[in-house]
Chain A
């Protein structure tokens, strides 16, 4: 389906329900009635092209609108990514954890395999949380003030000091791979564990891990191919506008 401004929002979701994730992260409320994408974006204060670019990418998967997405204010993307973070932390991760706990409680095999999986996943949670914390507490605020100060006549002296001693490239070094462990967990469950008594539960955990994995992948693509290049460019412009 081709996604155009006049497409009805409800048709969009019906044709591809995975797009619900995008709507949720942009905090678009339900109750679409017969409204078009255009109307809903206007009502919610979301830039139409930003929405279209994201939705088309998630839907068609053929092209990545990196450069087009870079033309939008960086704060929109940051908002989107933050929303995604809270989705992981508040919903997906605890849910998978709960399901592994349930699997463990149902495991009658007498072994410790499920306990091991739980331990492994909890290790993953702490790594994951640290990763997100770094972004939320250090990186995103820096990006937002960079954009804000860039638009000013004279940047806040305090920020100017920060900007001259820091670049987003430092962040790249700290940006650890958060998908590897999850992929390992998935492979161990899929290949090396006999399913415990409740098969339905086991399958569901796998499905959820696959989903989270895919979602994290998209998240990383947005960060590494849009956000960071955009910030690097903005840093350059900033230093040109406010030379030492």
Chain B
């Protein structure tokens, strides 16, 4: 019984992240921002938009812009597979935004002590989209700074 209570206490302090795969790395998205996850679907291109915007999709009657995290971070373009997903984020005051990931792995719980500050100096890399490194057992998860990600480059 005592053990149960103890573990329960710990969970309360833990934050939940959706672990997703991009290239070979695992990234974490704070579940508080996640509205829903949908399968890859037809994306309508918007001319003259920023290059990292793939376009817009119809999410149950709502128009939602879809961004490529890969392009935003300067990686090579997405290759859509059966595992590709669009994670719909809900950003305060700005509405919904979809981001494309290669694969959704799992939901992980990370406590304060399991999250480290990013290893690099913030001044060195102004366009960092990572605001923490999570340790899930042996695995390292780069945690996205959602605000930095939704800002203009």
Chains A and B are bound partners = no
